């Protein structure tokens, strides 16, 4: 069976969930061979093996942390040349997409970004994409070279499928461009203890109707009752009520959770672009005419300052 | 020495319009008004601010697209860019991101540059990979997704806010930069700017000007093929209740029925 390269997104050896989803998708089109780079790369092997990686190619060097993107492209290219895979899959993070794009150009291949599903086709893998603010679904193939495809989080359920996961050292020679962009400082984001927005199964968002930084405590309390991530509309972010890293929408993050709860969000196209593919959508809004209600499975027309605390209390009671 | 800045911009269908596909599965541009991609306005704004700080700078705004794409160039010129280049050719119809990066890189080299500034992504394709592709083709550093950017003594510095960390980046010019919508509000063109834009030069180049063969771009030259495009089925109407004191409890009931609680 053909091998499929899977680029591993990990933090000091802890594999992030979108990579495990990728391994599940990779098994539909071949045998996954994982590529893990940087600090803790070899520590990823157990988790990767448990989810189907037949081999884990690892390499660590200071360049991965000290310079932007290109050292990782050099390494993925080295893995590509060593394995000659049938396809290359990369998580659709901002960095993942940049790595994948540069690799595709170097190996003379087409690239598909932000796939939401993947299946085997007669002439190579077929990717599903969700476009125009999720109002259309397209099926796309790479028609030249080895398909390079980036896949969004929550595109597949994680399935365990134990495989050998043999760790092998990858040989990497960095090119002249690798040290072009220096990372002079890095400030890790403070953990809120909540799930990462793009990976969360449930997202609770607040918008213009939340009306103030301190009021976001109501949104956070609801999120915590459900073990959810907190999102914010652009209006709330632009007003300075919540950090930009939590913005859901066209210029922020795109989320596709099992459940999305929009509070005080009207549902402008820019916001819908980032959440329309959520499986179940719920909204609370004072304005019965708000376009968000066209999307919902369940909507409450009412004041979020009444409805949300009551909902949170009820959830906490039921969880007892 | 003059700092030569090239800003790449895209003319996109208005997201608030009814966007759809043409019969050949490319984006239908006839039925929806186009405009300068909002995210590219931030690139123009940062170029203007960098030019203000430099002793001597010239901003060229560059786009690849059909005749109407000149509107996007005019907007950028009215904001304050100095001149524009429009790459237009019938053979470009259906060009994908890899092909677009080829056209942009050739045009940027022909124009001459020290710094390329792009928006983080277009508002129609939203891939966000073109700046990285252009940097790869030009063989210069990519300093991308910046929420803050400055240029001094031939060095570009910026801040990139990622999921896991916020990073400070630094590279020597020439370089390719992309900026996010957090980089700073884009200015509105003044009346004076709009009038001045009408007199600014807009060069028109085609593929032969850039030594690109027709087979390298367009739908035929694309590295990817769209097999089908289906409109997402309308969602079935959901249940909407009015809060009369029990709205939160009713919603909890729904969430429980769906096994979320």
ipTM for the predicted complex comes to: 0.94
Continuous H helices in chain A: 17-29, 45-50, 63-66, 70-83, 94-107, 216-226, 234-238, 269-275, 304-319
**Is the CB of B235 inside 8 Å of chain A's CB atoms?**
yes
Q: Which of A140, A181, A187 sits opposite B226 (nearest CB)?
A: A140
Q: Are strands B175-179 and B155-161 parallel, antiparallel or unpaired?
A: unpaired
Peptide bond into A76 cis (omega under 30): no
B247 contacts in A (CB within 8 Å)?
Answer: 284, 300, 302, 306-307, 310-311
Q: Quick one: how many helices (H) and strands (E) in chain A?
A: 9, 17
Peptide bond into B69 cis (omega under 30): no
The C-alpha atoms of residue B102 and residue B212 are separated, in whole angstroms, by 9
Number of Cβ within 10 Å of residue A155's Cβ equals 23
Looking at B11-164, which runs of residues are DSSP E strands? 11-13, 34-36, 57-64, 83-87, 115-119, 142-152, 155-161
A141 contacts in B (CB within 8 Å)?
Answer: 224-225, 227
The C-alpha atoms of residue A185 and residue A187 are separated, in whole angstroms, by 7
Q: What pLDDT digit, counting tens, does each position of A242-291 carry? A: 999 999 998 888 899 999 999 999 999 889 989 988 999 999 999 999 99
Question: By C-alpha distance, which of A137, A142, A132, A169 is closest to A57?
Answer: A169
pLDDT of residue B14: 82
pLDDT of residue B163: 80
What whole-number percentage of chain A has pLDDT above 70?
Answer: 100
B243 contacts in A (CB within 8 Å)?
Answer: 300-303, 306-307
- The residue of chain B nearest to residue A92, with distances taken between CA atoms, is B127
- The residue of chain A nearest to residue B21, with distances taken between CA atoms, is A136
The C-alpha atoms of residue A208 and residue A239 are separated, in whole angstroms, by 9
Average pLDDT of span A36-65:
98
Estimate the crossing angle of helix A94-107 against helix B130-138, to 10 degrees: 40
List phi, psi (to 5°) of A62: -60, -25
The C-alpha atoms of residue B257 and residue B246 are separated, in whole angstroms, by 17
Pick out chain B residues at pLDDT < 50.
Answer: none
Q: Quick one: how many helices (H) and strands (E) in chain B?
A: 7, 13
Q: What pLDDT digit, counting tens, does each position of A127-162 carry? A: 999 888 778 899 999 999 999 999 999 999 999 999
pLDDT of residue B1: 62
- B77: closest CA of chain A, how far (Å): 24
The C-alpha atoms of residue A100 and residue A149 are separated, in whole angstroms, by 7
Window 16-55 of A, Cβ < 8 Å to B: none
Number of Cβ within 10 Å of residue A38's Cβ equals 22
Q: Which of B101, B167, B224 sits opposite A110 (nearest CB)?
A: B224
CB B224 within 8 A of CB A142: yes
Q: Which two tokens stand for residue B166?
A: 């916020």
pLDDT of residue B25: 80
For tokens 């968002």, what's the residue?
A205
Helix (H, G, I), strand (E, B) or coil at A245: helix
The C-alpha atoms of residue A131 and residue B122 are separated, in whole angstroms, by 12
Window 163-222 of B, Cβ < 8 Å to A: 163-172, 175, 180-182, 222
Helix (H, G, I), strand (E, B) or coil at B168: strand
A231 contacts in B (CB within 8 Å)?
Answer: none
CA angle B116, B121, B122 (to 5 degrees): 105
Contact B241 A299 (CB under 8 A): yes
Distances (CA, A) of B136 to A278, B132, B140: 35, 6, 7
The C-alpha atoms of residue A147 and residue A112 are separated, in whole angstroms, by 8
pLDDT of residue A146: 97
Q: Which of A112, A244, A300 sits opposite B243 (nearest CB)?
A: A300
Number of Cβ within 10 Å of residue B112's Cβ equals 12
What whole-number percentage of chain A has pLDDT above 90?
Answer: 89
Estimate the crossing angle of helix A304-319 against helix B247-257, to 10 degrees: 50
Chain B contact probe: residue of A15, A39, A40, A101 with most B CBs at under 10 A: A101
Window 36-65 of B, Cβ < 8 Å to A: 38-39
């Amino acid at each position: 069976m053909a091998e499929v390269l899977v680029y591993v997104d990990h933090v000091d050896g802890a594999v992030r969930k979108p990579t495990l989803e990728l391994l599940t998708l990779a098994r539909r089109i071949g045998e996954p061979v994982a590529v893990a780079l940087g600090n803790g790369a070899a520590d990823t092997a157990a988790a990767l093996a448990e989810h189907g990686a037949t081999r884990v190619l690892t390499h660590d060097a200071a360049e991965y942390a000290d310079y932007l993107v290109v050292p990782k492209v050099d390494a993925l290219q080295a893995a590509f040349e060593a394995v000659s895979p049938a396809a290359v899959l990369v998580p659709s993070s901002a960095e993942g997409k940049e790595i994948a794009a540069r690799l595709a150009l170097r190996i003379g291949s087409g690239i598909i970004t932000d796939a939401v599903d993947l299946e085997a086709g007669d002439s190579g893998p077929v990717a599903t994409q969700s476009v125009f603010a999720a109002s259309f679904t397209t099926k796309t193939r790479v028609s030249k070279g080895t398909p390079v495809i980036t896949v969004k989080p929550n595109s597949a359920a994680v399935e365990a499928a134990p495989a050998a996961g043999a760790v092998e050292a990858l040989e990497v020679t960095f090119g002249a461009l690798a040290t072009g962009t220096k990372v002079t400082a890095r400030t890790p984001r403070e953990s809120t203890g909540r799930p990462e927005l793009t990976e969360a199964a449930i997202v609770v968002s607040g918008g213009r109707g939340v009306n103030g930084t301190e009021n976001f405590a109501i949104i956070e309390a609801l999120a915590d009752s459900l073990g959810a991530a907190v999102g914010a509309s652009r209006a709330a972010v632009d007003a300075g009520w919540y950090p930009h890293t939590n913005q859901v929408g066209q210029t922020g993050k795109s989320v596709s959770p099992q459940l999305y709860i929009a509070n005080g969000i009207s549902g402008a196209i820019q916001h819908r672009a980032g959440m329309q593919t959520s499986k179940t959508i719920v909204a609370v809004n004072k304005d019965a005419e708000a376009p968000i209600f066209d999307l919902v499975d369940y909507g409450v027309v009412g004041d979020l300052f009444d409805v949300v605390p009551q909902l949170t209390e009820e959830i906490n009671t039921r969880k007892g | 020495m003059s700092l030569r800045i090239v800003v790449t911009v895209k003319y996109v269908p208005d997201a608030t319009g009814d966007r759809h596909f043409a019969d050949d599965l490319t984006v239908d541009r006839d039925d929806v008004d186009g405009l300068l991609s909002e995210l590219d306005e931030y690139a123009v704004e940062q170029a203007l601010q960098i030019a203000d700080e430099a002793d001597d700078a010239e901003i060229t705004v560059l786009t690849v697209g059909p005749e109407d794409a000149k509107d996007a160039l005019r907007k950028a010129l009215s904001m304050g860019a100095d001149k524009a280049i429009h790459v237009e050719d019938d053979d470009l119809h259906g060009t994908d991101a890899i092909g677009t990066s080829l056209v942009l890189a050739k045009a940027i080299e022909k124009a001459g540059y020290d710094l390329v500034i792009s928006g983080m992504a277009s508002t129609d394709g939203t891939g966000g990979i073109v700046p990285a592709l252009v940097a790869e083709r030009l063989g210069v550093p990519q300093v991308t997704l910046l929420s803050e950017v400055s240029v001094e003594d031939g060095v570009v510095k910026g801040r990139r806010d990622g999921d896991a960390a916020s990073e400070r980046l630094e590279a020597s010019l020439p370089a390719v930069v992309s900026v996010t919508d957090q980089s700073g509000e884009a200015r509105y063109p003044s009346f004076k700017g709009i009038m001045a834009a009408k007199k600014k030069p807009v060069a028109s180049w085609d593929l032969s000007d850039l030594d690109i063969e027709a087979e390298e771009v367009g739908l035929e030259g694309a590295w990817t093929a769209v097999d089908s495009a289906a409109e997402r089925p309308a969602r079935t109407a959901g249940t909407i209740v009015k809060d009369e004191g029990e709205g939160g409890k009713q919603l909890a009931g729904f969430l429980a029925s769906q096994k979320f609680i």
